[in-house]
Amino acid sequence: MPRFGLGLGRGVRGFLAWWRNALMAWLPATARQALGLDRGRLLLLARADGVELRLQQGEALRDLGHVPLIEGESDPLARVLAPRVADLPRWLLVPAAHALRRPLTLPAAAAERLRDVVGFEVERQTPFPADAVVFDARVLARRGEQIQAELIAVPRARVEPLLQALGPLGTLLAGIDVAAADGTPLGVNVLEPARRHRRRDALRVWNYALAAVAAIALVATMGQVLANREAAAEALRTRIAGNARAAQAAAAERAELLALIEGQKFLDRARASRPSTLAVIDELTRRLPDDTYLEKLAIEDGQILLIGLSSEPSALVARLQGSPLWRAPALTGALMPDPVSRKQRFTLTAEPAGAPSAAAQAGAR
């Protein structure tokens, strides 16, 4: 659990540092200095008779002069520098000849804890044991999943005499940087974290307050933007739902209309394929003999039903065959004599032309 908290704290501090540096990068150097975001640092070059001072602000370097060290004096810089300059972080600048620089190719994930990672490479990349050097690393370039880094190591045998030459100033150092071949700092800190002196920043409280206000404003702005997006999305969903209901109603009406049209077409085709009642009556009138008359004529359920009286009912089937208006005429039931007319009562059925036959209907069932 403590390791998890430590890793989380490092991640938060790393994110805040990255965010602060990213915001600072958008501001001009003069604006950063005016806001106290880039106050700079004092570079100390140890000499036998004192210390040389340089002021670094951004990429600019300015010589401040030479300050002799007086034995017993706790902070000789405070008597020669203005308070705002004397209060800047103090860094020892080691000459380039004292340092070993080795290029390294590492996975991109190593950039988050570069110093810890290169600590395992010190003995492989330098002729010194790991405890005999102070070191740091910096990222030179990023290429996909890899980074080009540089290990900078300085033997302790070179660093300790310089710290002793500074006297009491050696305990007030925020870091130790290494000079490049042209004398400009590389931007590393080889001093162990436990020995780094941290000065109280008078503007830190204001910086934290401003950062908190900026974070709250950012969260509020993002919340408002999110609320606006949600309101717009809800309005869009409502409009889409309304359009969908209208489209569904229109689709239902169209389907109902199509069903009515198809039903009407089916009825028209069925009516056209079957003979009309007048045509059936006319055809029966011409085919039935004069001694036959009908009591009932019905055309329903795909069947023509004839009920009547005739002197020769059995001959009616032959008379009705061959008509284009019906098919399969047949007597059904028994013939019943009628005592009044002295004829025989018959029941005869036929299938209208165009209707499915009884065999086809049975097969369909």
Sequence-distant (≥ 6) Cβ neighbours of residue 72 within 8 angstroms: none
What residue has token string 């000459």? 95
CA-nearest of 44, 276, 274, 267 to 171 is: 44
Spatial separation of the C-alpha atoms in residues 293 and 311, rounded to whole Å: 10
CB-CB contact of 335 with 312 (8 Å): no
Residue 147, pLDDT score: 93
Please name every residue paired with 175 in a beta bridge, in sequence order, or none if there are none.
91
SS3 at position 227: helix
pLDDT given at position 19: 64
User: What is the residue-wise DSSP string for 148-190?
Assistant: EEEEEEEEHHHHHHHHHHHGGGGGG-SEEEEB-TTS-B-S---
pLDDT, tens digit, 9 for 90 and up, residues 273-330: 667 788 888 888 888 888 888 888 888 877 888 888 988 888 888 888 888 888 888 8
Structure tokens given for 356 = 């499915």
The Cα 67–Cα 38 span in angstroms is: 24
Exposure on the CB side of residue 90, measured as CA atoms within 13 A: 27
Mean pLDDT by 10 residues, the chain (365 residues): 44 59 58 60 88 89 87 80 87 93 93 91 91 93 92 94 87 92 92 84 70 90 92 92 89 89 78 74 86 85 85 86 86 85 88 65 49
Residues comprising the chain, all counted: 365
Q: Which residues pair with 142 in a beta bridge?
A: 147
Per DSSP bridges, beta strands 336-338 and 343-352 are: antiparallel
State the pLDDT at residue 357: 56
Instruction: Read off the pLDDT of residues 216-237 as tens digits, 9 standing for 90 and up.
Output: 999 999 999 999 999 999 999 9
Q: What is the pTM of this model?
A: 0.49
Q: Is 37 left (phi over 0), alpha (psi -120 to 50) or beta?
A: alpha
User: What is the sign of the dihedral through the CA atoms of 221, 33, 183 and 97?
Assistant: negative
Tokens of 322: 């061959």
Would you call 291 helix, strand, or coil by DSSP?
A: coil
Chain centre distance of CA 162: 56
